Homo-oligomer: A and B are copies of this chain.
């Protein structure tokens, strides 16, 4: 049994992780400042699933499981708050999800780019300083992203690559080519964490996570009050979840460009298990360890076609739209990323199956009345420095001169 502090424990990955670790017998506490709920208000969006306030979720879990999860409300960019929490909890591991996690959000405009980089980088620096100062043996389990690597024309290794050059060789950090101000913030974090492990002898695992899909875990399923977020909007909705919501309401699936963009993906049930495996198998003091946390590679078009196939079973007529890509990225490219280290620690992946897709489409169909179709189309264009983050009614689009609201 470990003491584990989950930063960002009210979020899409943080909440099911907190439940899973609690169920596994660990002493879990969560920290959150509810900024993710605030951004829904900012964007005029909401999760497809009607999530409950954190105290209600936690009470439901206590009632069901008999296990307590302590809550600390505050911001990790506030060092004194964070440090006090760590003093009180004496964590063996800190799982750090408490960052702005959407690429499009970071690309809205200068303010959002700076907010994303400053709050992510400062939050992680605070965690590092707090660990060194008050809990130096604590293991930092930090959520990074596969997007740190970009799409190089060589195989992607797990964090480090052995390079032979002019007759010499070294094992060096894998070169990074992140594709948004958000992905850049994770690269900045990774460099900062590696450095602090080296100078202070603390330990960290950087989990370069792929795109997560799904909403249910075995804990979440136990009660409606535990329900998890399911984002389908263009800013926070990940590709597969968004496609399921689109299929449920008869909206064409919004594939950006050719759809040959290939990425690593994983089921949220594997996210929570990977976090637990990382916690249970800490690195040595002073070690900076990197795992690529995903289970399968797909192109975006492949995912859309799978949803189309499953949709037929539900009697849904699912079409696929190829929109101009609002991002600046290769629409066709080589992609082969290693992901064996978590499997070596015991991960048994939930591979994407028709039955999982059935269940996802089912969730979407169940809550289809909550779908706001105006949230589907991309409004944040990587090529512009100022995007309008608020959706506008369709009839108003023609009048928005000089400030496009779609990916044109």
Contacts and interface: CB of A to CB of B under 8 A. Distances in A.
Nearest to A327: B199
A70 B400 CA distance: 39
A339 B243 CA distance: 50
Contact of A154 (B117, B166, B184): B166
Nearest to A148: B191
A321 interface: no
Contacts of A191: 176, 178, 184, 187-188
Contacts of A165: 154-155, 161
Given A154-B163, A155-B165, A113 B125 contact: yes
Interface residues of A, number: 51
Contacts of A181: 192, 195
Contacts of A153: 168-170
Contacts of A184: 188, 191-192, 195
Interface string A176-203: 1111110010011001101100111000
Given A114-B122, A114-B125, A161-B165, A199 B334 contact: no
Interface of A: 79, 110, 113-114, 117-118, 121-122, 125-126, 129, 132-133, 152-155, 161, 163-166, 168-170, 172-181, 184, 187-188, 191-192, 194-195, 198-200, 328, 334, 382-383, 385-386
